[in-house]
Amino acid sequence: MIKFNLFVLPFSLGLIYIVTSIVMHYYRWIKALPAVDKVKLSAGIRTPSKVLASLKEIFLEGLIHRKLWKRNPLLGYMHMSFAFGWFLLIVMGNLESRVYHGAYINAPYYPIFLKFFIHDRLVLFFEIFTVPAFFRFIMDFLLLFVLSGLVLAWIKRKQSKWFGMKQTTMHNFFDRVALSCLWLIFPMRLLAESYTAGYFHGGGGFLTQNLGNLLVMITPGPAELIAYFFWWTYSLVLGLFFIMMPYSRYMHIPSELLLIVFRHCGIQPRKWGSSFSDLEVRSCSRCGVCIDACQLNFAAGINTIQAVYLIRSQREQYIPENIAQTCMLCGRCQEACPVGIKIDSLRLIKRREIGSGQVSDFSYLTNPHPGFADVVYFAGCMSQLTPSIPIAMEGIFKEAGINYLFIDRNGSICCGRPLMLAGKDKQANELIEFNKTLIRQTRAKLLVTSCPICYKVFREEYNLPIRIQHHSQYLLELVKDGKIALQSQHRRVVYHDPCDLGRGGNIYQAPRELLGKISDLEPVEKDRTNALCCGGSLALMGTSMRTKDEVTLDALESLLAGDPDILVTACPLCKKTFSKLSKTEVRDIAELVYDAIPSRKTRIAGTVKDPEVVIS
Amino acid sequence: MDNTVIVIGGGISGLTAAGMLAQQGLDVTLLEKENETGGHLARWDRLFPDRKKASEVLDFAMEGLNKVKIVTGVAITGISRQDHEFTVSTNLRDSGYGMQDAGYQSPVPSPQSPVPSTQSPVPSPQSQYTASALLVATGFDLFEARKKEEYGYGIYNNVITSADLEEQFKSGRKVLTSEGKTPGRIGFIHCVGSRDEKVGNLYCSKICCVTGVKQAIELKEMFPESEVFNFYMDLRMFDRHFEELYYEAQQKWGVSFIRGRLSECSENPDGSIILKTEDTLTGKPLKMTVDLLVLLSGFVPSGGTRGISKMLGLQEGTDGFINSADQHSQNNLSGIEGVFLAGAIKGPISVSESVADARAAAAQIACYLSSFKVTND
């Protein structure tokens, strides 16, 4: 049996190239890991549960594309047909080749081009129940499966909206070449196998045999030569695709596999970058889901800075400053990313490079002893700009009889996060140390903050030995413990999830539960992980106020679609941002809670006073 | 085209222009949404830089109005145009015409105020007025200081606006804190709602600087022992005698000026206000306690300006004020034939500038109605 022909060479060379390349990439990524991460990796791959979890995720995300299915079934099916279909073609093709070849080791090209080498005919009727016939059927079925995805991919080029995507990525040269190859691979295979089956009157399945018979009938010229031509083309586009792969978006396929393993071993992105982040960069499929998720795109028309372009410029070793800085770090793209890339941390790595050189002078800070208390209340500097919030919180502390200390009553020392968002971690750490000392001195067991921005940094960077709560959690606890009794005001409210509380702090339920007790909470279209940013993000640098306003107005339109009485949020920055442009009253959840205490003795927070009473 | 004019807005600009036009023999109707004419000026005590009584300026403007048909308490519901004739439809703002609505305090006690003799009889709830020319003088509103929540207006009792202070001056009473005490230390905050992108207002309101200086002097006159601080970004003493007033405030009255924008304030248990700001000349953060805080609220386009602008399709600038056909030589022309502009509808402007601008508008309208060319087109 002949098992070689010249046309297998392009494929074989391509395969050798890509395998070598992947091995080298893997080696480099693993070798460059920080020592701590290497330990995690080697421990992880020896832990069966982690290996199983990795394999499960590889199967679900790498082959089935579960997240894309959830996003849009057509998009999910398209990706699944390519990934899972191709994977099954390889597996089944290998099994099929065993039928005709008993050796343990085949040349890698052999199963791929099996139909070139094998063209036996089914002679008798009952042979359709034999193993070869089964494989013919299954291989044709799988080919059809992949081709159906290909047809969808073509449609998606023109009608991306049907796939739940308004905008798609602008691709570069290598991507386009690789994409063209990818699109040609399966039609070439179909034609090659069909012509072969048609010429030999056998060897094909329901698809290739029938198509082959038809093609041979209607095309003039020597069918054998035409078939041979298509075998060459098939091999060439496969080989070219493999060679293009490391330079194109398709490198995401092998990269993502390793990334999943890394993640299951507990490896995290590092502040100054590590090979984990390099791997994340290579794992981006440039699908462009992040473009649609980005409010700067759909609300403000900025469409050059999204995650996919950040990552691409990172891959090209140069991130323009505006791409790093023009971002609200709201986390929406991160939430939408089917690969689960920590996009915000990638952007912050670049910001740290930019921001680390600058110096700040904190010599004006003094450190008087704050006093002692059970609960430390840190309003945060944003709450200083919305005094209704700390006034409400103090009222509630008093009503509940809490031994509390309003640690930043007379002006706060910044929590450090705004500096971190600007990449100034070194400077932020000075403030963090300062605040840590202050908080520790109080000997409190609980730190409550009104600001989700502070909440996030307290939890992630402070390493405090005490509990940390956002006021929405704390107030709910006070209610549950019977410390405060609330009476619903039955106002129709909608709740806006602040980025740093929701996506950043994973607190979605507490504010909703609380609002359910004191108001008539109505749903909004985009909430929880899909919630919109208010537009006031401190992370957004180098853009005009107009851009922020456009984002805010768009978010307001969505939130106020049901014309509620009050727009409630749980973040002073969101409140301030929305208040500027909202025609509907905007309040913090703490203000509403305070208003809902029927027995309250202290002044109602934020109530508009009559200017006439000011002066006697 | 006949000699009829409708003036929309009965503030100082509208009144001045209406008077000028009527004196020239034109048939003038003035429409005012409030129940009294006089606009912001009617609520103001004294004017910079010479501390002239606002009521005197208003009285002067009112003198020429005996031939003007003045309709007050009406809302404009629509404006249509046929050839050279405009029809303005109005509706009564509240059912009890002639009665004062619940929240509205008459700025000028009526017995002394010059009630125009030709005030029209009670109009039916819906009326229509026609004219060959329209003068839009719908002016400004004061920036809603509550929008700067961090400044505590509407939250802390001892935070007031410059307009609140002026009403106190006008009432003749002593300006005291909400606790009824003499304010020992008073702060003025400049640029509240002006030159502040965070509230969406990029422009300078122009007259607040000198208002702050004037009011600081007036408080020092009232309380020579009190300290008065002005927190500013720049002091734009743009007109005649303003700089002298600023010098006088410092040299004669000992008013202090600190270059720094207020960041935020909070309230002490005794009701005094803690200011958190920065002295940008020394580059240091600064904290100060004051007994009374005065916010110098800036200008925003008035609700009337926004409404009329939509009806007529006037050119709105990015700041929301109305653009004239040409800021230099056609500043009273709206770009729509027969529609003219006067006063603070075009942006922040002082009383003296309003008067001059209104007269210019009146002259242009008179030219237009006599078929003199008012444009170069």
Q: Give A-chain residues touching B160 at CB under 8 angstroms.
A: 611, 614-615
| Interface contact A386, partner B, CB < 8 A | yes
β-pairing, B256-259 vs B227-232, is parallel
pLDDT at B110 over 50: no
What is the arithmetic mean of pLDDT over A466-491? Answer: 95
Instruction: Check residue B179 and give its pLDDT.
Output: 94
B143-297 matches B4-139+302-369 in CATH topology: yes
Instruction: Tell whether B147 is within 8 A of chain A (Cβ).
Output: yes
Partner-chain contact B176 A613, CB within 8 Å: no
B102 Cα to chain A: minimum distance (Å):
14
Is the bond leading into A370 cis (omega within 30 degrees of zero)? no
Sequential DSSP letters for B74-106 = EEEEEEEEETTEEEEEEEESSSSTTSPPTTPPP
**For A460, which DSSP code?**
I
B124 contact partners, CB below 8 Å, separation of at least 6? none
d(CA A65, CA A72): 11
Res B376: pLDDT: 66
Question: Is B157 in contact with A609 (Cβ distance < 8 A)?
Answer: yes
A391 touches chain B (CB under 8 A): yes
Interstrand relation of B52-53 and B46-47 (parallel, antiparallel or unpaired): antiparallel
Residue A616 pLDDT > 70: no
B252 touches chain A (CB under 8 A): no
Contact status of A366 with chain B (Cβ, < 8 Å): no
Would you state the pLDDT for residue B122?
58
The interface residues of chain A toward chain B in range 589-608, judged by CB-CB distance below 8 A, are: 605-606, 608
Q: CA-CA distance, B12 to B39, in Å (whole number)?
A: 7
A580:B147 CB<8 A: yes
The DSSP H or E segment spanning A276 is helix A275-283
**Chain A residues closer than 8 Å to B274 by CB:** 410
Which pLDDT does position A343 carry in this prediction?
Answer: 94
**Given CB atoms, is A384 within the 8 Å cutoff of chain B?**
yes
Distance between CA atoms of residues A117 and B31, nearest Å: 96
Find the closest chain B residue to A409 by CA distance: B266
Q: How far apart are CA A354 and CA A5, in angstroms?
A: 56
Chain-chain contact of A549 with B200 (C-beta, under 8 angstroms):
yes
Does the pLDDT value for residue A118 go beyond 90?
A: no
* pLDDT tens digits, B235-287: 999 999 999 999 999 999 999 999 999 999 989 989 999 999 999 999 888 99
The DSSP code for A612 is G
Share of chain B above pLDDT 70, in %: 91
- Residues paired with residue A406 on neighbouring β-strands, in sequence order: A377
Contacts of A398 (CB under 8 A, 6+ apart): A601, A602
pTM, 2 dp? 0.84
| A519-A522-A526-A531 Cα dihedral, nearest 10 degrees | 0
| Structural domains of chain A, with CATH | 63-247 (no CATH), 268-355 (1.10.1060.10), 375-479 (3.40.50), 484-595 (3.40.50)
- Residues on chain B touching A579 (C-beta within 8 angstroms): 147, 149
* For chain B, counts of helices (H) and of strands (E): 7, 20
B100 φψ region: left (φ > 0), alpha (ψ -120 to 50), beta (else): beta
Computed over every residue of chain A, the mean pLDDT equals 90
Residue A115 Cα distances to A132, A195, A197, A208, A221, angstroms:
12, 10, 8, 10, 21
pLDDT at A370: 87
Q: CB contact, 8 Å: A368 with chain B?
A: no
Lowest-confidence region among A110-119, B229-238, B250-259, B298-307: A110-119
Instruction: Read off the pLDDT band of A80 (50, 70, 90).
Output: very high
CA nearest to B103 within chain A: A610
For chain B, give every domain's residue range: 4-139+302-369, 143-297
User: DSSP letters along B180-224, please?
Assistant: SPPPSEEEEEEEETSSBGGGTB-S--SSHHHHHHHHHHHHHHH-T
Rounded Cα distance between A263 and A33, Å, is: 13
Left (φ > 0), alpha (ψ -120 to 50) or beta: where does A329 sit? left
Mean pLDDT, rounded, for B336-363: 97
Confidence of residue A519 (pLDDT cuts 50, 70, 90): very high
User: In the structure, what pLDDT confidence band is assigned to residue A315 with cuts at 50, 70 and 90?
Assistant: confident
| A581/B157 CB distance under 8 A | no
% of chain A residues with pLDDT over 90: 72
Q: What is the phi/psi pair of residue A529, to 5°?
A: -65, -20
Interior/surface letters A62-98, b for 16+ CB within 10 angstroms, e for the rest:
bbbbbbbbebeebbbbbbbbbbbbbbbbeebbeebbe
pLDDT of residue B111: 40
Residue of B149, B152, B178 lying closest to A576 (CB–CB): B149
Shortest distance between the Cα of B297 and any Cα of chain A, in A, equals: 14
Name the residue among B31, B107, B109, B18 with its Cα closest to residue B65.
Answer: B18
B91 φ, ψ to 5°? Answer: -140, 145
CA distances from B119 to B60, B115, B319 (A): 18, 8, 35
Contact A565, A493 (CB under 8 A): yes
* Fold of the CATH domain B143-297: FAD/NAD(P)-binding domain (3.50.50)
Q: Tell me what pLDDT residue B112 has.
A: 40
Mean pLDDT, range B39-57, rounded to an integer: 96
- Whether residues B155 and A387 touch (CB distance < 8 A) is answered with yes
Percent of chain A residues past pLDDT 70, beyond the cut: 96
| Cα angle A455, A457, A461; round to 5 | 135
| Confidence at B120, pLDDT banded by 50, 70, 90 | low
Ranges of H-type helices in A369-457: 381-384, 388-400, 417-421, 425-441, 452-457
Q: Cβ of B176 under 8 Å from any chain A Cβ?
A: yes
Q: What is the pLDDT of residues A347-405, one digit of tens each?
A: 999 999 888 777 788 887 877 888 999 999 999 999 989 999 999 999 999 999 999 99
CATH superfamily of B4-139+302-369: FAD/NAD(P)-binding domain (3.50.50.60)
The answer to whether B297 and B145 have CB atoms below 8 angstroms apart is yes
pLDDT > 60? residue A606:
no
Chain segment A184-213, per-residue pLDDT in tens: 999 999 999 999 999 888 888 899 999 999
- Interface test mutation site (partner B, options A407, A540, A614, max chain B beta carbons within 10 A): A614
* DSSP one-letter code for A356: T
Contact B183, B226 (CB under 8 A): yes
Structure tokens given for A296: 């700067």
Cβ of residue A616 closer than 8 Å to a chain B Cβ: yes
